[in-house]
Amino acid sequence: MAVKTIEWRSDSVRMIDQRLLPTREVVRTYRDYKGVADAIRTMVVRGAPAIGVAAAMGVALGIKGFAGKRAETRFNTVAKALRATRPTAVNLAWALERMERVLKENLSLDPAHLFRRMREEALAIYREDIEANRALGRFGAELLPDPCTVLTHCNAGALATAGYGTALGIVRAARESGRKVSVYADETRPFLQGSRLTAWELRKDRIPVTVIADNMAATVLRGGRVNCVIVGTDRTAANGDVANKIGTYPLAVMAHRHGVPFYVAAPLSSIDLECPSGERIPIEERSPREIAEFAGKQVTPKGVNIFNPAFDVTPAELVTAIITERGVAYPPYGESLRALKERA
Ligand code: MRU
């Protein structure tokens, strides 16, 4: 893809402002960790792997000029600010833990060398994410018939990752392997990641895409218009319960009702073996304004109660397979996910 989601350039972090897509392509530059934390919180950058990469780059920026004990104290401040941005995607905590390990191993370095080492690690997380997406894309593509039409929810594409995408990575890999593939994209209320972002990036890649409002998915499934559903995940628990964008769970229920396979594209960085089941996954609640307003216009009576959970949990029993960069996990997920994640 011509447009980069996130990029490290001249010791600053550049991100396309996803809030403005599809009508405006504005790239923002951040030179300190506070700016990066703000960008994650306000959804300039979003999608579990992308916010993991952003957090790692934020730590590198934050640690610049520090060494030894002072670097450790500084890390705690920086990590606290980044961790507080969004709670559901485990990639963020995963990236912070990885950066902390590298910091602790290199506390004896002088500030310039420590900064270089931390920057190197953030860039490794960036590169590995793209490699993981390409690998899981190839595994996933093998599951698809030819021709194939995929229904997806939210945006688990290049914009949600360092590049290529997870759910959309499978679509891209299928196309690269010569298959004919098209996509139905749920609009994804209230933030419209499907209609704004998924449609935007698929169109850029000339992959046929049809946008539907979320409440049309049952009609699409019952009409036999799609061969499978593929979604991403913010955190998948050890038992295979899947947290993803709000509206994923009803989609899984509907896919089950209509006998359509429901696949989850999950890089290992989004699988949390420490979390036994979906009940323990923290679900972010976002501002009521996301529901109360549409395109800047008030669409609910002022003062009405609003509930705005950003994610839901799909129980493992509704998930046909979980596709990772090391292969495809099938039920029982308690065993298959552990085997994949712990394989060296
Ligand atoms: O609130 P968002 O836009 O960050 O939510 C994103 C999703 O739910 C994605 O499906 C998930 O992060 C996987 S992205 C590869």
Residue 146 CA: distances (Å) to CA of 227, 238, 261:
10, 32, 15
User: What integer pLDDT is reported at residue 6 of this predicted model?
Assistant: 98
Please say whether the beta carbons of 326 and 343 come within 8 A. Answer: yes
Q: Which atom of ligand 1 is nearest to the CA of 167?
A: 15
| Other Cβ atoms closer than 10 A to 205 | 16
**Contacts of 282-288 spanning 24+ positions with Cβ under 8 A:** 282/87, 282/88, 283/87, 283/88, 283/243, 283/309, 283/310, 283/311, 283/312, 283/313, 284/86, 284/87, 284/88, 284/309, 284/310, 284/311, 285/309, 285/310, 286/310
User: What integer pLDDT is reported at residue 249 of this predicted model?
Assistant: 98
User: What integer pLDDT is reported at residue 1 of this predicted model?
Assistant: 63
Digit-coded pLDDT (tens) for 177-192? 999 999 999 999 999 9
Which pTM does this prediction carry? 0.97
How far apart are the CA of 60 and the centre of ligand 1, in A?
24
Q: Which atom of ligand 1 is nearest to the CA of 161?
A: 15
Q: Whose CA is nearest to atom 8 of ligand 1?
A: 245
CA gap 144, 228 in Å, rounded: 8
- Residues flanking ligand 1, CB < 6 Å: 46-49, 89, 154, 156, 160-161, 166, 193, 232-234, 244-245, 310
Strands 6-9 and 12-16: antiparallel
User: What integer pLDDT is reported at residue 3 of this predicted model?
Assistant: 76
User: What integer pLDDT is reported at residue 58 of this predicted model?
Assistant: 98
| Other Cβ atoms closer than 10 A to 210 | 15
| Catalytic-residue membership of 234 | yes
| Lookup: tokens for 163 | 């590049």
- 344 residues of the chain, pLDDT tens digit each: 667 999 999 999 999 999 999 999 999 999 999 999 999 999 999 999 999 999 999 999 999 999 999 999 999 999 999 999 999 999 999 999 999 999 999 999 999 999 999 999 999 999 999 999 999 999 999 999 999 999 999 999 999 999 999 999 999 999 999 999 999 999 999 999 999 999 999 999 999 999 999 999 999 999 999 999 999 999 999 999 999 999 999 999 999 999 999 999 999 999 999 999 999 999 999 999 999 999 889 999 999 999 999 999 999 999 999 999 999 999 999 999 999 999 86
Short-list 202, 208, 227, CA closest to 151? 227
Pocket-testing residue among 197, 198, 201, 245, ligand 1, by greatest number of atoms within 8 A of Cβ = 245
| Other Cβ atoms closer than 10 A to 110 | 9
User: What integer pLDDT is reported at residue 11 of this predicted model?
Assistant: 94
Produce one character per residue of 289-327: b if its CB has 16 or more CB atoms within 10 Å, e if not.
Answer: ebbbeeeeeeeeeeeeeeebebbbbbebebbbbbbbbbe
Digit-coded pLDDT (tens) for 262-276? 999 999 999 999 999
Domains of the chain: 6-133 (1.20.120.420), 139-343 (3.40.50.10470)
